[in-house]
Amino acid sequence: MKSYVFDAKVQQEGDGRWSAWVEALPGCTAWGYSREEALEALKDAAELYIQDMIEAGEELPKVGVQVVESPVVAVNL
């Protein structure tokens, strides 16, 4: 099992919602009514994005990601 750790960007929109995205994965974005909700949705989106890349035989990004050869637990505060 490999773990992929991505740099994520988060910002609050004018309507109060939160947007989140991973620059290393073009088009990988999510939103939520809270910062935490946006990041959780982004985690789900990034997981699907990487799974699709692996299944398609595409090369994974090398910038903005850390690949760890074991499971990890990430805590965001």
In the structure, what pLDDT confidence band is assigned to residue 2 with cuts at 50, 70 and 90? confident
pTM of the model: 0.86
For the stretch 17-45, pLDDT in tens is 999 999 999 999 999 999 999 999 999 99
pLDDT, residue 49, reads 96
Domains for the chain: give ranges and CATH numbers: 3-68 (3.30.160.250)
Rounded Cα gap, residues 34 and 23, in angstroms:
20
Torsion of CA 61, 65, 66, 68, to 10 degrees: -60
